[in-house]
Amino acid sequence: MLQQTQVPTALPYYERFIKQFPTPAALARASDHAVLKAWEGLGYYRRAGNLHAAAKAVIRDHGGRVPDDPKVFAQLPGVGRYTCGAVQSIAFGHARAALDGNAVRVLARWFAVGRPITEAATRRRLWQLADSLVPASAPGDWNQAIMELGSRLCTPRSPRCPLCPARRLCAAAKRGIQDRIPVKRRRKPIPHIEVGAGIIWRRGKVLMCKRPAGKMLAGLWEFPGGKQRKGETIRECIRRELKEECDLAVTVGKHLIDVTHTYSHLKVTLRCYHCRAPRGRAKLHASAEARWLRIDDIPTLPLPAADLKILQALGIERETAVRATRNPRGR
């Protein structure tokens, strides 16, 4: 959960997750659906699949015990060099480095690393430094201290050097160049696309589609639709996408909401419309699975954040309708 995710964000997910799946065995026997639902909103959903697969491997290959051998532990899915070092040092006291984004920044400043931290040679050097620093005694405390230092004091912007216990060791602080380290390259801007999405109604139910394995948001459920093409209106886009993906002929009706959502590498504006699909079976092409659901049942599915916003708009819309019925003059 902590891979590329700040502690305060992961914490409530962790608390719920560990209650629901207290042991590797409990997680191993859970359904993909249940695990993904528990992960809903955390992002990087492949981590959930990796963790699930790792729990199964622990049961199948390691007698239900998390391996305390770094070489063995590192073979589990989702366990890279950082996670291996963090778990092995913190949980088992093995003297392994844990170089996360915080530690990279701390060490880069400490040793005034002037090369871009994106370069492979620089990463190697930082890992060497990290390895050389980990003490045999309480290596987990050391790793956590370095990460915490990066998180609390040695921050990306405006590091609080006067408060830093390591200020007299820090080469960057000595030279006053802490604001220019670590050196990084500018990221390339992310593209922005327009997507048409349909709230497809039939007999009081709405069509939801499961995102195919291997693609972004794999295994999560969404309101069906797709990318708008050049020279195409958004209504045409929704009709075309529903025909292509579900073989449904839909009538596009009232606009519901526009939702703009920024992903890690993509910005999307979802233009959402109520639609009708009076007949025809929803056949599946790109979508792995589809279901007709009452609005109240949609929250049982794991949904991406953008679709949660749509669901909220639907709920608010219905609230408004109910209130108007109870009180025809409104408020």
Partner DNA sequence: TACACGTGGCG
Partner DNA sequence: TCGCCAAGTGT
Interacting residue ranges for DNA, rule: CB under 7 A = 2-7, 9, 41-46, 50, 77-84, 86, 100-102, 104-105, 118-121, 144, 147-148, 150-151, 156-157, 184, 186-189, 215-218, 261-266, 304-306
CB of 231 to DNA, least distance (A): 24
Check residue 307 and report its DSSP letter. H
The burial of 154, by beta-carbon neighbours within 10 Å (0-12 exposed, 13-18 middle, 19 or more buried), is given as: buried
CB of 187 to DNA, least distance (A): 4
CB of 255 to DNA, least distance (A): 18
For residue 313, the number of C-alpha atoms closer than 13 Å in the C-beta half-sphere is 18
Q: Is the dihedral of CA 9, 10, 16, 17 positive or negative?
A: positive
CB of 214 to DNA, least distance (A): 8
Closer residue to DNA, CB minimum distance, 205 or 309: 309
Closer residue to DNA, CB minimum distance, 43 or 93: 43
How many Å apart are CA 218 and CA 302, to the nearest integer?
11
CB of 205 to DNA, least distance (A): 24
Give the list of residues 6+ apart from residue 296 with CB closer than 8 angstroms, or none: none
Closer residue to DNA, CB minimum distance, 66 or 216: 216
List the one residue out of 208, 218, 216 whose CA is nearest residue 49.
Answer: 218
How many Å apart are CA 271 and CA 308, to the nearest integer?
14
Closer residue to DNA, CB minimum distance, 47 or 235: 47
**Angle made by CA atoms 106, 107, 113, in degrees to the nearest 5:** 115
Contact predicate 35/45, CB 8 Å: no
CB of 195 to DNA, least distance (A): 13
Closer residue to DNA, CB minimum distance, 119 or 247: 119
**Angle made by CA atoms 299, 304, 305, in degrees to the nearest 5:** 95
Closer residue to DNA, CB minimum distance, 300 or 320: 300
CB of 76 to DNA, least distance (A): 7
List the one residue out of 102, 1, 90, 93 whose CA is nearest residue 44.
Answer: 1
Closer residue to DNA, CB minimum distance, 136 or 213: 213
Check residue 95 and report its DSSP letter. -
